[in-house]
């Protein structure tokens, strides 16, 4: 495959990935609709997210057919972000703990219920 000729692949693979992305999006929506909570919810969200992101990158953006030099240029630098996420998570956890321990914040406070303004109620 020569890069100069551009990325050309059979239509079928795009259609298959397209359908797959629809299925994965439906599944990730169902996680919320069914109302899974806790670790099961977070795991499912992450699994569907990484699958979707992976297929978009690999197939739609053609990364799996690119030469390794370009692939590493694209995927290498973002690895640094994992460290940023890790450090900020540790820092955030510490700040939250300090607010609870020293500022008397309630760690189990619930958000206020959401009431939507209907079109009818808006008038008065």
Partner 1 sequence: MSETVASNLAAPRTGLPGLVDDWSVDKQTYHVPWGKAMMWIFLVSDTFIFSCFLVGYMTVRMTTAEPWPLPTDVFALSLFGSDPIPLILIAIMTFILITSSGTMALAVNYGYRRDKRMTAILMIATAVLGASFVGMQAFEWTKLISEGVRPWENPWGAPQFGSVFFMVTGFHGLHVTGGVIYLSIVAWKVSKGHYDKKGYEIVEITGLYWHFVDLVWVFIFAFFYLW
Shortest separation between residue 124's beta carbon and partner 1, angstroms: 15
Specify whether the CB–CB gap between 54 and 60 falls below 8 A: no
> Binders of partner 1: how many residues, by CB under 8 A?
71
Question: Residues with Cβ < 8 Å from 1, sequence gap 6 or more?
Answer: 65
Residue selected from 38, 79, 111, 124 as contacting partner 1 according to rule CB under 8 A: 111
Residues 88-107 contacting partner 1, CB under 8 A: 88-89, 91-93, 95-96, 99-100, 103, 105-107
What is the rounded distance in angstroms from the CA atom of residue 48 to the CA atom of residue 20? Answer: 11
Shortest separation between residue 84's beta carbon and partner 1, angstroms: 6
The structure tokens listed for 111 are 């958000």
Residues 22-61 contacting partner 1, CB under 8 A: 22, 25, 28-29, 31-33, 35, 41-42, 45-46, 48-49, 52-53, 56-57, 59-61
Cβ neighbours around 81 below 10 Å, total: 9
What is the rounded distance in angstroms from the CA atom of residue 30 to the CA atom of residue 50? Answer: 16
Residues 66-85 contacting partner 1, CB under 8 A: 66-70, 72-74, 77-78, 81, 84-85
């Amino acid at each position: 495959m020569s890069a100069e000729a551009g990325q050309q692949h059979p239509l079928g693979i795009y259609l298959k990935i397209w359908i797959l992305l629809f299925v994965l999006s439906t599944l990730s929506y169902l996680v919320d609709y069914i109302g899974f909570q806790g670790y099961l919810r977070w795991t499912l969200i992450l699994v569907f997210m990484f699958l979707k992101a992976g297929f978009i990158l690999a197939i739609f953006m053609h990364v799996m057919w690119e030469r390794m030099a370009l692939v590493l240029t694209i995927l290498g630098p973002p690895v640094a972000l994992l460290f940023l996420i890790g450090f900020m998570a540790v820092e955030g956890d510490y700040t939250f703990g300090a607010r609870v321990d020293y500022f008397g914040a309630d760690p189990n406070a619930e958000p206020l219920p959401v009431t939507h303004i209907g079109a009818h109620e808006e008038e008065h």
